């Protein structure tokens, strides 16, 4: 399996490397200049590059203003978006005319996004107006970078900064690698999730550094085969599967692996969350291992009673079935006394949950760390600090 995966990765990189032999389309050749709006220049450069296999769109060093753009495929072949400078979004949400994105890559095969540059979403004004967490009736806000139906592609060495809403959003993507990306937004910026993955498969996130006001990584319904390796997270709300079960006809989630990495000063650690009163659903084959927690609230959490801001009128149990989950070699410090919480549904209790080698220290008032299990009987081996598993019924 490892050898086959290596061959697939090597083939993908060779395919994407072929972009270097094609033509270069610099936005400056289409009238784009630093400290000016390059929206039209970029769209012209992209349209021209898309007609030639192995082409590269270049935005060189400098600061540029950019309105909402859709960079649409399919293209003739592999294509690279090479951002060396800094792109600045409009500060005023009204200028997006209701669009839910700033830069959107759509329906492209063999895309590379690279260059070391910055997508600066200028989100400060939007955050002041974003009451999503309070009333849940907020207007649409633009995501910094969207990848819709992008396949066999790689995103590496870019930075997303101060998005008005989510930073990087994947929908319907397959075989996409994200490497060495940096995501930054203040801790108090609402709904600025780092990387959200929905209805996508074969996604790898490696050596990402994410600090935001919401989840560092969130995994939505219909997502399969995601590996997050050596992610640094904080501030933020942790690494999350879910929330699941809020809507009808959600698709199963499976094959999620979070390996290595460090979470610091986050509101949660690794978490699986589902709504009460949910339609039936499935979340399985989810594994979290070799993770360091530094002053993290709720370092290990399954929450099948997730209901922020009392939005749930009917508190019947969740019907999302959680199974085949493991938490292994997770260590560090908890900022809350209840360091391990496995709160499952009494209609569909969690099955095949494994907890191995946990060492989480709590130094606050009220004694040492504790753990709680509800509607789950995990298999427990190795070191267990806190002792596992205090049963609440």
Catalytic residues: 214, 237
Extract the tokens encoding 250: 């959600």
Residue pair 113/84 in contact by the 8 Å Cβ criterion: no
Q: How far from the centroid of its chain's Cα atoms is residue 80's Cα?
A: 22
CB-based burial of residue 186 (10 Å sphere; 0-12 exposed, 13-18 middle, 19+ buried)? middle
CA dist., res. 257 & res. 229, Å (int): 8
**Count of residues for the chain?**
393
- Beta 351-362 vs 55-59: how paired, if at all? unpaired
Q: Which helix (H) or strand (E) holds 8?
A: helix 2-17
Q: What are phi and psi of 308, to 5 degrees?
A: -70, 145
Extract the tokens encoding 59: 């935005």
CB-based burial of residue 87 (10 Å sphere; 0-12 exposed, 13-18 middle, 19+ buried)? buried
CA dist., res. 31 & res. 373, Å (int): 62
Kindly state the DSSP code that residue 221 receives in the 8-state scheme: T
CA dist., res. 341 & res. 99, Å (int): 39
Give the angle 354-277-247 at the CA atoms, nearest 5°.
95
CB-based burial of residue 305 (10 Å sphere; 0-12 exposed, 13-18 middle, 19+ buried)? middle
Token look-up 């692996």 returns 257
Q: How far from the centroid of its chain's Cα atoms is residue 318's Cα?
A: 24
Q: How far is CA 64 from CA 71, 106, 231, in A?
A: 17, 22, 29
Beta bridge partners of 322: 283
At residue 317, the 3 state secondary structure works out as coil
Q: Which residue in 337, 328, 322, 273 sits closest to 301, CA to CA?
A: 273
């Amino acid at each position: 399996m490892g050898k086959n995966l290596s061959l697939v990765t090597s083939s993908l990189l060779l395919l994407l490397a072929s972009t270097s032999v094609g033509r270069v389309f610099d936005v400056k050749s289409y009238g784009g200049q630093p400290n000016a709006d390059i929206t039209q220049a970029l769209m012209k450069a992209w349209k021209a590059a898309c007609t030639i296999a192995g082409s590269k769109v270049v935005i060189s060093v400098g600061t540029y203003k950019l309105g909402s753009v859709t960079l649409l495929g399919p293209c003739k072949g592999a294509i690279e978006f090479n951002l060396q400078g800094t792109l600045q979004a409009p500060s005023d949400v009204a200028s997006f005319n209701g669009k839910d994105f700033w830069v959107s890559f759509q329906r492209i095969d063999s895309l590379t996004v690279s260059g070391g540059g910055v997508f600066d979403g200028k989100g400060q004004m939007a955050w002041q107006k974003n009451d999503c967490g309070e009333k849940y009736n907020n207007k649409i806000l633009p995501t910094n970078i969207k990848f819709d139906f992008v396949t066999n592609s790689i995103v590496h060495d870019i930075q997303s900064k101060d998005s008005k809403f989510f930073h990087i959003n994947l929908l319907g993507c397959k075989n996409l690698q994200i490497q060495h990306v940096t995501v930054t937004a203040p801790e108090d910026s609402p709904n600025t999730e780092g990387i959200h993955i929905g209805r996508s498969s074969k996604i790898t996130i490696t050596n990402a550094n994410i600090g935001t006001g919401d989840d560092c990584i969130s995994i939505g319904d219909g997502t399969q085969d995601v590996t997050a390796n050596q992610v640094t997270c904080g501030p933020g709300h942790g690494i999350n599967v879910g929330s699941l079960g809020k809507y009808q006809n959600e698709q199963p989630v499976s094959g999620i692996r979070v390996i290595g990495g460090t979470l610091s000063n986050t509101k949660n650690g690794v978490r699986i969350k589902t709504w009460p009163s949910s339609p039936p659903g499935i979340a399985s084959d989810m594994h979290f291992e070799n993770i360091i927690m530094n002053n993290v609230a709720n370092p290990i959490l399954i929450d099948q009673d997730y209901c922020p801001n009392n939005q749930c009128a009917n508190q019947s149990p969740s019907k999302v079935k959680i199974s085949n989950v493991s938490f292994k070699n997770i260590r560090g410090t908890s900022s809350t006394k209840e360091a391990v919480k496995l709160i499952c549904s009494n209609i569909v209790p969690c099955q095949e949950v494994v907890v191995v080698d946990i060492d989480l220290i709590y130094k606050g008032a009220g004694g040492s760390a504790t753990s709680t299990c509800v509607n789950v009987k995990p298999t427990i081996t190795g070191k267990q600090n806190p002792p596992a598993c205090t049963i609440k019924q």
